[in-house]
Amino acid sequence: MRILLAPMEGVIDAPMRQLLTALGGYDACVTEFLRLSDGELPERTYHRHCPELAQGSRTAGGTPVILQLLGSDPELLALSAERAVQLGATAIDLNFGCPSRFVNRKAGGAALLKEPQLMAQIVSAVRHALPDDIPVSAKMRLGYDAPDNAVDIALALQEAGAGFITVHARTRNDGYRAPARWQWLRPINDALKIPVIANGDINSVDDWRRCQEISGCQHVMLGRGALMQPDLALHLRAWHEGREITAMQWPDIQPLLPRLLEHYAPGTRGLSARIKQWLGMLRQRHAGADSMFTQIRPMQDMDSILAKLAG
C-alpha cells in the first residue's frame, strides 16, 4: 500500500508538506503544479516552487517529493522535466486533473481530457526525455464531462510510459462536489497493469475501507482529509497493518498551526489567510478548531493570531 500526499494549489505547499509528512505515514508527496505555457522557466522558479530540490527532493523528514508539471506542449514539458531532473528532481508527475477554469482556458489540466491522444504524447515525450530510473506518473480525472472514456484514457497513459496514475474520482465538470465516484475506479484498476492510486473524498479510515472495497485500488492519495485530520496517513497505515492507534485531538493539533508558520520565510504574505484556511478544514472534524476559527476570523494582525493560538 502506498500513501501519497496530494498537491493542492495554495494549500499544501512546501511548509505544509514538511509539517504533515513529519507526522509520518506517507510514502511520497506531490508538489503543486508548475505551469508551463510560454517557454522554459528560469532555475530560480523551480527552486522557489520546490525548495526540496536542494535536499535531494525530500522533505526535512526524508519523505520523497514528486515534482508536478502542467502544460499542453509535449516538447516544452519534456525539456522542463529534463531541466527539473538536472536540478535535483527524482520523479515527475503530469497534471491532467486541475479543473480550474483559468488553467483549462490555457489548454492545461483537465481540459486535456478532451484530447487523450495529446495526453499520451505528453507522457511519452517526458518519459523518453528522462533517464529510466526517474519515475514518470500522471494524475487525471474520470473525464471532462462524463466517465465513459476513463479506461481508454488510463490505458493510453500506461502505454505511453506512466509508471502509475492517480485518478481523482470525479469529472472536470464535477469540480469538487461530493460524492466522488469510486465505482468508476474499479474498471480502471482492473484494466491497468500499473498501480492506480485512488483520490477523492477519502477523509477517514472508514472512507478508505469503503473506497478500497468499491474500487479495488490498493493505493491512496490524501488531500483535504489530511488537512481535516493531520495524522490520517498514520491511521490508514495502521488499519492496513491490523493495528489501532489513537487519533490526534484538538489539543494535539492546535500547536501545529504556529509550527506551520515557522516554516515560512520572514515577510511571507497571506499567512493569516493560510491559518484561517486550515482552521476552516480542521473545524469540520474538531469542535475546538471551530471555536478557534470563530475567534481569529476577524483578526488580521499575526501577533494577535499567534497569541490566540498559544492559548
Identify the pLDDT of residue 266.
83
Q: What is the mean pLDDT of each run of 10 residues along the chain (311 residues)?
A: 94 96 98 92 96 97 97 97 98 94 75 96 98 98 96 98 98 92 98 98 97 98 98 97 95 95 88 94 96 94 90 75
Is there a contact between 174 and 147 (Cβ–Cβ < 8 Å)? no
Look up 98 and say whether it is catalytic: yes
Give start and end residues of each alpha helix (H) in the chain: 14-23, 43-49, 74-86, 101-105, 116-129, 150-160, 185-191, 205-215, 224-228, 232-240, 250-253, 256-261, 271-282, 287-296, 302-310
**Annotated domain spans of the chain:** 3-240, 250-310
Identify the pLDDT of residue 26.
98
Instruction: Give this prediction's pTM.
Output: 0.96
Identify the pLDDT of residue 107.
72
**Active-site residue, from 29, 50, 98, 211:** 98
Q: Which helix (H) or strand (E) holds 266?
A: none
- Indicate the class that CATH gives domain 250-310: mainly alpha
- Indicate the class that CATH gives domain 3-240: alpha beta
In angstroms, rounded to a whole number, what is the distance separating the alpha carbons of residues 168 and 171?
A: 8
